[in-house]
Amino acid sequence: MKLVSWNVNGLRAIVGKGFADIFNAFDADCFCMQETKLQAGQIDLDFEGYKSFFDYAQKKGYSGTATYSRIEPVGDSRGIGIERHDTEGRVVTLDLGSAYLVNVYTPNSQNGLTRLDYRMDWEESFADYVCRLDSVKPVIICGDLNVAHQEIDLANPKTNRNNPGFTDQERSAMTRLLDAGFVDTYRYLHPDEKGAYSWWSYRMNARARNVGWRIDYFLISRRIAEKLVSANIHSDILGSDHCPVSIEIDL
């Protein structure tokens, strides 16, 4: 099973940047996107053999997630079942039979950490949600988690300490989620790989200089870690300030 995740930073925008060719080249079983930034009816984007599942934010041009799957799911849902968290289009869950696939766009703490308290509330609620799923069958979580977990996961850890995405609180929440029974697939297979990033600022030529952050992830239930075949970051693929990440897993 091949799975891809990409924060496209505007699905309508990226469609004009060769997205269909990129999508088809991956030949993924499921292709998950975050920050689609659209509402129902604002795009007509179909791929032969795939069914699409969108979660739209109430606020126009904001957030949003979408999953395209050529595996017919047993079931699908939007959100995590908590009203205060389910207005921003942040979660699509598919029951693929052998596992749940959870596509998530984690809230950003924002400049000045103005949303950090909300972010911590979200983290607790989301962890409870995926742990409940994990009690039923294995879970695959993918998406923009908006956190660089360890110092190895960003180019300038010292100067970014306590900036959004690298606060002690956000990093600790990620640790707690992993400790609850999940594995960071990229670090599982590439524990010491440096310079492996999935997001770069548009400022100061950051991408060309590879001054980035690894904030896009695939996490899987620890009990299926031995089924993981590969985990990759596709930094050569342009079109967004993020690049796609992918895994292959034998389920």
Tokens of 173: 């929440």
Pairwise CA distance, residues 147 & 164, whole Å: 8
Q: What φ, ψ does residue 96 adopt, rounded to 5°?
A: -90, 5
Cβ 218 vs Cβ 3: under 8 Å: yes
Pairwise CA distance, residues 28 & 5, whole Å: 10
Catalytic pick among 29, 134, 144, 184: 144
> Quick one: which of 167, 180, 170 has its CA closest to 122?
170
Catalytic, 186? Answer: no
> Quick one: which of 69, 147, 60, 72 has its CA closest to 103?
69
Interacting residues of 158 by C-beta distance below 8 A, sequence separation 6+: none
Pairwise CA distance, residues 232 & 17, whole Å: 22
Catalytic pick among 100, 105, 129, 197: 105
Catalytic, 184? Answer: no
Active site residues per annotation: 105, 144
